[in-house]
Amino acid sequence: MNFPITDSHLHLWDEKNLDYPWLKTMPTLERSFLLSDLMEATKSLHLESIVFMQSGCEDAQSLQEVNWVSDLAKRDARIQAIIAHAPLELGQDVHAHLTALKSNKLVKGVRRMLNAEKNDFCLQEKFIQGVKLLAEFNFSFDVCIGAQQLPSVIRMVEQCPEVKFILEHLGNPAMAEKELERWQTQVSELAAFPNVWCKLSRLIREDQPVWSSDDLKPYIYHAIKEFSYDRVMFGSDWPVVNLAASYAHWTHTLHDLLTHHHASEDELKKIFHSNARRCYEIQTEVVEM
């Protein structure tokens, strides 16, 4: 790869600093993953900049997480953006939380995990109110769902034309079950909204221990067809990706698939570098370390 990487979806966590209840269900990940671990995982790659994705600490600690990552950014200038948790189901009452986040220039957007909620959770009146508020703060909304929630997400996006949405992990299609046609139709419908982007992330999954790049092709190629090379971006989902493959393995797998799809050098640079910076409005160039 002859260009630097901007990772649009990367986690860090320190169990000595914050509480992460979800890790108890994943013993392989139940330890701290720090900058030193990231350096080791990416030593063969030119990782230039990072979008930190909120990492599932206790909701009450979400502002502490933002402060912790901001301190890390003072030591590692590659941390260029933070996507923070926000309880959007509070509706108008989430305003104070968003105001606190806006005081930190690294915060570019928010995420409220939806994949553990009922399919229509995001269609509640108060939730829609909370999402609409994001436009006031120029915050994007990262959407983490299961594929069965795509119809509800489409209806949510319809109601919030002023908000930029980023579909994580291509909506988590059920690749192990080879469920493709319904997902393709729904992703096409979602991609028709110009304010929706998507991430090529976490497509190598722990629930599909035996996989090949051919398993990924129809999903990746369909996403590019519908979103174009201008609204898709690389994400590692490190260290969660470790459940199925290494950081480098996933990165090179995606690069090879795109190359075989005849992506040009400019198109590869968009996916692996510039699209994430444009989507999250990252302006500062990273000084070489």
pTM of the model: 0.96
Flag residues of the chain having pLDDT under 70: 209, 284-289
Chain center to CA of 251? 15
pLDDT at 205: 79
Q: For the chain, which domains are there?
A: 5-279 (3.20.20.140)
pLDDT digits (tens, 9 = 90+) for 156-176: 999 999 999 999 999 999 887
Q: What is the mean pLDDT of the chain?
A: 95
